[in-house]
Structure 1
Amino acid sequence: MRILIRTSKWAILARRLGSLAIPLIVFAVLLHRGQLIASNIFAVAAAMAATVAALAVLVGLLALARLWSTGDQGWGLAIAGVLMGLACLAPVAWFASLALHFPPATDIATTDRSLLPLVLEPDTALMPPAQTLPPAQLEAVFPNVKTRSYPLDAQQAYEIVLRMVTEHGWDIGLERAPATPAGTGLIDARIVTLAGWREEAVLRVAGTAEGASVDMRSASINAWHDFGSNGSRIEAFLVALDTEVTTLLRDNPNANQPVDTDPAATTSPLEAAPAS
């Protein structure tokens, strides 16, 4: 007589829940990145996917416990459900850890925000209010978010900043180069995060008596928490800019010398020599 070993219904349910959680989170991210759903809808969809994933893990663990005691089939199904659930919960846990590490903020800047307008910003009536950090807290969390000063004129510094923004692959919406070596330039760019949130970076290059200063602002659009992305972006960009300028001045010691526009300075020695 053949004895039939049944497959655990709990294991089947765990596998089904895990199979449902993965497309839920993947489709939500894809739709959010493509701007087909708003950020608030994405947050709801992500919460639903996380709930289904948590159920998959819970049911899968319960199925494994029952399989151990009953001898039923379904070990593979239960393990698959747990693994898929954990895979969906991993990014949730990551963002939760970032939320605990970084204070809630959506707008970080090195200087007065009126000097760094968000020109690509949508209708502010549809947005949550921007959350900023007090100076003392900003200094403690992001110590490198500070105005940079370089012994270069504004046009030279602007060229370096523009090249770096382009290399980062940010979507530039505004390029306003300094009209003179002592002028002011502005760059505005949009960034899409991996999860699809929109963030905007503004860089200002201004001529000073000593050379040029560079300020930066990074802000999340339609978000309640940036999980540290804006402050981290500014720090990473400005530290990289420090390296770029240091390398330039090391390899080109005269790069910070002003250009002499005096016509006499461009005259060749032969032309300047008096006639005999």
Structure 2
Amino acid sequence: MTAEDTIERYATARYVVKEAREARWARWIAVFFLQLLILTAVLHRFFDLNTAAAVNLVGVSIAGLAVAVLIAVVSLIRIWFGGQTGAANDFAAIVVGLIGLAIPAYFLSQALTLPVLNDLQTSPEDPLQYTVLLEQRPPDANPLGAQSPETAQLQAEAYPDIGPIVVDRPAAAAFTVVNEAVKQLGWTVVVNETPGESGVGRIEATDSTMIMGFTDDVVVRVKGNDTFAVVDIRSASRYGTHDFGTNADRIRTFYEEVNTALEKGEKTVLEQTAAEEKEEPVAAPAKEVKKKQRRRTRKRRVRSTR
């Protein structure tokens, strides 16, 4: 073999570059658990998947996505130092995994910054009681009872804005406003008791969370007399030791709807009053009346002279 043949042989030689298999596995794992997470949310919200099973599947999906991201990062390190291919699969696995972990990461931040609460009420010293919903709650749901002093203190420190509101209207009128707010929020009402002679009205309803559709129980009480009313609300999660601030957000949204309904009612009264004022005839000033009378007398005198 001559030197020319040797040079030609090495010039045409091809080096086989291996592909990192774990990169492809990372992408497959990330896609699978993201699909599982989405499917779990859809089945629980629209097809009555058991809540306990849904919570377990969500936990498994989060763990699977985290494992996929970890495998992809390790694979990228191997590719960087070993010269293998498959970086595209690793980056795809990281992107898919981070998309699936975005919402759980938000709830994790809420869990780290907010106290462990799943039952909020505006008047812990005078707790609102469930009647019909107490019987409709599943046997494995969170127990409903009065707040302990420690829990009430945690609520007061974490949510100082959560408290009863006083409405300068009779109890019956305030209850009408509350009904309008509940209707606008789309809650499913199971109890609707108007204020009677006792001046106490009650509404029991259920509400679902936006993403997973977890069912929470709500009770609203309107108590007052012919001059004012006090509106209280209690919101409790059926499952989980931590509500991630959901019950507090629900109470705030409810009060915003009540205030909007109150402002709407006040504007309506003002508009009616303004319309009545426009319809009432305006009396002419005394000076104008005297001038008209003088003109009439002058015309009479001119006619008489003619």
For normalisation by structure 2, the TM-score amounts to: 0.74
What is the aligned counterpart of 2:248 among 231, 240, 249?
Answer: 231
Corresponding position of 2:182:
165
- Residue in structure 2 matching 1:51, options 53, 63, 69: 63
Amino acid at match of 1:252: V
Aligned partner of 2:194 in structure 1 is: 177
CA RMSD of aligned residues (A): 2.6
Matches within 5 A, 1:150-161: 150-161=167-178
Farther off after superposition, 201-210 or 124-133: 124-133
- Cα 1:147–1:234, aligned 2, differ >3 Å: closer, same or farther? same
Distance (Å, rounded) in 2 between the aligned partners of 1:29 and 1:124: 20
For residue 22 of structure 1, the aligned residue among 17, 26, 34 is: 34
Aligned residue among 144, 155, 167 for 2:161: 144
Q: 5+ unaligned residues in a row in structure 1: which ranges?
A: 256-276
CA contact (8 A) 2:41 2:212 kept: yes
Distance 1:246-1:136 versus aligned 2 partners, 3 A rule: farther
Q: 1:174 to 1:233 in 2, by over 3 A?
A: same
**Normalised by the size of structure 1, how large is the TM-score?**
0.81
Q: Which residue of 2 aligns with 1:77?
A: 89
**Greater mean deviation of Cα atoms: 109-118 or 168-177:** 109-118
SS, match of residue 219 in structure 1: strand
For 1:118 and 1:83, the matched residues in 2 are separated by 48
Give the C-alpha shift of residue 217 in structure 1.
0.7
Amino acid in the other structure paired with 1:164: A
Per the TM alignment, residue 215 of structure 1 is displaced from its structure 2 partner at its CA by 0.9
Q: Which runs of 5+ in 2 are unaligned?
A: 1-11, 273-306
Question: Cα–Cα, structure 1 residues 148 and 116, in superposed 2: closer, same or farther, change >3 Å?
Answer: farther
What is the identity percentage for the equivalent residue pairs of Structure 1 and Structure 2?
A: 27
Q: Is this contact kept in 2: 1:118–1:200, CA < 8 A?
A: no
* Residue deviations 1:160-214 (CA, integer Å, cap 9, x gap): 211111111222222223347x733222221111223210111112233531111
- 1:128 is aligned to 2:145: no
How far apart, in 2, do the equivalents of 1:216 and 1:129 lie?
Answer: 18
Aligned residues: 254
Do the aligned residues in 1 keep the contact of 2:185 with 2:254 (CA within 8 Å)?
no
After TM superposition, give the deviation of residue 83 of structure 1 in Å.
1.0
**2:276 corresponds to which residue?**
none
Tell me how far 1:14 sits from its aligned partner.
Answer: 1.0
Q: Distance in 2 between matches of 1:144 and 1:218?
A: 15
Contact kept? 2:128, 2:219, Cα under 8 Å? no
Q: Higher relative CO (CA 8 A, sep ≥ 6), structure 1 or 2?
A: 1
Q: Deviations over 1:132-153 (max 9, x none)?
A: 4633322221122212111111
CA shift for structure 1 position 49: 0.8
- 2:103 is the alignment partner of 1:94: no
Secondary structure of 2:133's aligned partner:
coil
8 Å CA contact 1:191–1:199 kept in 2: the answer is yes
Pick aligned residue for 1:213 from 230, 239, 244: 230
Which has the larger displacement, 239-248 or 158-167?
239-248
**For residues 113 and 119 of structure 1, do their structure 2 counterparts lie closer, same or farther at Cα, with a shift above 3 Å needed?**
farther
Aligned to 2:244, the other structure's residue is in SS state coil
Question: Larger deviation: 61-70 or 76-85?
Answer: 61-70
